[in-house]
């Protein structure tokens, strides 16, 4: 009976932590489906919309900085509840908003919630679960995170189909009203899991290791007994006492706190975790998810095919994560990370090759496009086959051959120090809206946004600078077969990522860090992760516009080589080991046992 009770509690604990992952995934994916309708009905300009989208990232960066300190001060359980409450509060603020400021406040709260969840839930799982279940438990967090992304994609697709049905009625007022309802409904749908997460957070036990470090040994033992046998709980409590005693002895011999933190037991796992977290983003995962539909469109698929391709992409992420969860405690973290990164390298390299076949033929028509700029320094251009022929006229024999088939046009432009790129326009898309280049689509609305766009840019000069066409790149559109080939390589990429890094990255973050620095160390490593993600997001469109998708995918593949070497050569296997055993390994003890496990 007691064992059944402990099994039920462990399942409940995993469910609560999984709901945290679900909220994290919703935070990442929800804006993609809502943004087109928000853009159409809110009256916000491009600069304001970009701030609304980026507010989650800003909130996440801010909360990540303090998440470790808050987790040590408040406790893991209370911080989990707080992160859920912030998410719940954000939903009505956004869904009921009728202006710019409420949207920013709500999105900032969502970002703060995501940053806290990304640190505290893996931290809580690592400290609460037995060594034999730690990989599966943290894997479930990632699994439900991917479910959140799938759910956001499906909700977006549902409203996309409904909007298309309403558009066929030809009633502009009704279409506007439905789009306004659509983006608000997309946010309302994400409210129930947030409420359940808050309730669940108050029903689970506090982290036994946090309780122990607070001197509450009896409470720590009671927390352990909720999920473990008496013998196992006593063994882990004894290991905590030994680790604490060793730390007290080392501090008593006169070692300063600063010097003790530079010992190999702290430095090596911290550096390993930082490299893994940085390389995890350098695979390009967030940009590939965020721009997936655009990538598939440019690879040769139609609009509908590209959007369904994104749905399939998220479903593969979800299903492959199930495999990772099943294997992580059987095969181990090192094996899955090595396998996953090897597959990522190969799939991204092949994706780059497929894009290179057409991108090597692209031509620049910037002089012709520059001549079309109006006196008020704007440009409106309906790109079709006739315009393509006009832009390419007189360039070369190859240009005439390119113009004879469907092509895409990407315009990279600037006002002063600030640059932007248009979406790719297809010459064979008769229903496409014209390319519109205006100052507000490039120049930030205020100095705060300008700082994040270009820290050294002169905003005042940009507000009066002429429109400069830096490049107008015309590329022959690939065939539909090429598009499906690209989709297949991206599906393979997603499968390998989900099985390896997707599941193991949270474990690497929480398992490698010693108890003394775990909360703050995780915050720093996750902040580095987000910094790399932000950097890639900032350079993705400019790089793709100037050098093509092939260059971007090959860069991602090259960065993943570093990830592969780190996992295959330097990362020890940690499956089945208690956190204290892993800490002892990095101090130089039990090295042979841990590496050969």
Q: What are phi and psi of 124, to 5 degrees?
A: -65, -45
Average pLDDT over residues 152-166: 78
Q: Kindly report which listed range (250-259, 293-302, 434-443, 463-472) carries the lowest average pLDDT score.
A: 250-259
What confidence score (pLDDT) does residue 591 get? 45
What confidence score (pLDDT) does residue 123 get? 79
Question: Residue 253's CB: how many other CB atoms inside 10 A?
Answer: 6
What confidence score (pLDDT) does residue 518 get? 64
What confidence score (pLDDT) does residue 126 get? 74
Q: Kindly report which listed range (164-173, 190-199, 481-490) carries the lowest average pLDDT score.
A: 164-173
What confidence score (pLDDT) does residue 3 get? 66
Task: Give me Rg for the CA atoms of the chain.
Answer: 26
DSSP codes joined into one string, 229-252: -HHHHHHHHHHHHHHHHHHHHHHH
Q: Who contacts 567 (Cβ-Cβ below 8 Å, separation ≥6)?
A: 276, 334, 337, 338, 341
Q: Which of 3-12, 274-283, 424-433 is modeled with the greatest confidence? A: 274-283
User: How is domain 1-204 classified at the CATH fold level?
Assistant: Growth Hormone; Chain: A; (1.20.1250)
Give the residue among 28, 68, 86, 13 at the shortest CA–CA distance from 524: 68
Region label for 170, one of left (φ > 0), alpha (ψ between -120 and 50) or beta (otherwise):
left
Average pLDDT over residues 380-385: 86
Give the residue among 518, 503, 416 at the shortest CA–CA distance from 457: 416
Q: What percent of the chain has pLDDT over 90?
A: 14
pLDDT digits (tens, 9 = 90+) for 231-245: 887 787 877 777 677
Q: What are phi and psi of 168, to 5 degrees?
A: -70, -20
Query: How far, in Å, CA of 597 to CA of 586, rounded?
Result: 15
Query: How far, in Å, CA of 297 to CA of 145, rounded?
Result: 26
Verdict on whether the full-model pTM lies above 0.75 = no
Q: How confident is the model at residue 403 (pLDDT cuts 50, 70, 90)?
A: low
pLDDT digits (tens, 9 = 90+) for 482-540: 889 999 999 999 999 999 888 887 776 667 776 666 666 767 777 777 778 767 766 77
Query: How far, in Å, CA of 529 to CA of 521, rounded?
Result: 12
Residue 572 CA from chain centroid, whole number? 26
320 or 229, greater pLDDT: 320
190 or 432, greater pLDDT: 190
Give the residue among 192, 155, 171, 149 at the shortest CA–CA distance from 37: 155
Residue 37 corresponds to which tokens in the numbers above?
Answer: 């309708």
Question: Residue 331's CB: how many other CB atoms inside 10 A?
Answer: 16
Helices 303-328/480-497 angle, 10° precision: 20
Average pLDDT over residues 106-118: 87
For the chain, which residues make up each domain, given as ranges?
1-204, 363-481
Q: How confident is the model at residue 258 (pLDDT cuts 50, 70, 90)?
A: very low
42 or 71, greater pLDDT: 71
Query: How far, in Å, CA of 91 to CA of 424, rounded?
Result: 33
- For residue 135, is pLDDT > 80? no
């Amino acid at each position: 009976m007691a064992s059944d009770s402990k099994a039920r509690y462990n399942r409940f604990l995993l469910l609560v932590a999984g709901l945290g992952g679900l909220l994290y995934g919703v935070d990442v994916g929800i804006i993609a489906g809502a943004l087109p309708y928000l853009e159409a009905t809110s009256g916000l300009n491009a600069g304001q919309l970009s701030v609304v989208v980026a507010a989650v990232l800003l909130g996440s960066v801010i909360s990540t900085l303090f998440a470790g300190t808050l987790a040590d001060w408040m406790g893991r359980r209370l911080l989990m509840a707080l992160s859920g409450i912030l998410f719940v509060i954000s939903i009505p603020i956004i869904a009921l908003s009728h202006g710019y400021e409420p949207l920013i406040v709500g999105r900032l709260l969502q970002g703060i919630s995501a940053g806290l969840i990304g640190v505290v839930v893996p931290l809580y799982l690592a400290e609460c679960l037995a060594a034999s279940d730690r990989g599966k438990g943290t894997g479930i967090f990632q699994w439900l995170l991917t479910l959140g992304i799938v759910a956001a994609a499906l909700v977006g697709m549902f409203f996309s189909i409904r909007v298309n049905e309403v558009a066929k009625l030809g009633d502009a007022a009704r279409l506007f009203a439905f789009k306004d309802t659509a983006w608000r409904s997309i946010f309302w749908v994400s409210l129930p899991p947030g409420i359940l997460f808050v309730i669940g957070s108050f029903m689970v036990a506090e982290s036994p290791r946090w309780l122990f470090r607070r001197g509450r040994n009896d409470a720590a033992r009671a927390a352990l007994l909720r999920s473990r046998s008496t013998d196992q709980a006593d063994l882990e409590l004894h290991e905590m006492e030994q680790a604490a005693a060793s730390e007290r002895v080392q501090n008593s011999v006169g070692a300063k706190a600063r010097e003790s933190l530079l010992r190999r037991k702290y430095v090596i796992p911290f550096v390993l975790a930082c490299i893994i977290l940085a390389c995890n983003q350098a695979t390009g995962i967030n940009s590939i998810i965020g721009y997936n539909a655009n990538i598939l469109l440019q690879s040769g698929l139609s609009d509908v095919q590209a959007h369904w391709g994104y749905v399939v992409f998220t479903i593969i992420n979800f299903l492959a994560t199930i495999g990772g969860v099943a294997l992580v405690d059987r095969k181990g973290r090192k094996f899955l990370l090595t396998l996953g990164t090897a597959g990522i390298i190969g799939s991204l390299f092949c994706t780059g090759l497929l894009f290179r076949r057409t991108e090597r033929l692209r031509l620049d028509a910037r002089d012709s496009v520059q001549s079309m700029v109006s006196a008020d320094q704007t440009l409106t251009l309906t790109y079709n086959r006739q315009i393509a022929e006009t832009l390419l006229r007189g360039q070369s024999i190859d240009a005439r051959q390119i113009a004879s088939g469907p092509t895409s046009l990407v315009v990279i432009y600037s006002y002063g120090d600030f640059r932007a790129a248009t979406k790719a326009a297809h010459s064979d898309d008769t229903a496409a809206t014209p390319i519109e280049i205006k100052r507000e689509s490039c120049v930030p609305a205020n100095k705060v946004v300008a700082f994040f766009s270009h820290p050294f840019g002169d905003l005042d000069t940009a507000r009066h600078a002429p429109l400069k066409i830096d490049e107008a790149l015309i590329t022959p559109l690939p065939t539909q077969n090429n598009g499906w080939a690209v989709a297949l390589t991206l599906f393979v990429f997603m499968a390998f990522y989900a099985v390896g890094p997707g599941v193991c990255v949270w474990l690497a973050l929480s398992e490698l860090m010693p108890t003394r620095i775990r909360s703050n160390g995780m915050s720093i490593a996750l902040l580095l992760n987000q910094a790399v993600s932000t950097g890639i997001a900032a350079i993705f469109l400019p790089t793709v516009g100037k050098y093509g998708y092939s260059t971007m995918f090959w860069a991602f593949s090259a960065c993943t080589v570093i990830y592969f070497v780190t996992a295959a050569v330097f990362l020890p296997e940690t499956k089945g080991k208690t956190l204290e055993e892993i800490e002892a390994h990095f101090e130089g003890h039990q090295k042979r046992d841990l590496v050969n496990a």
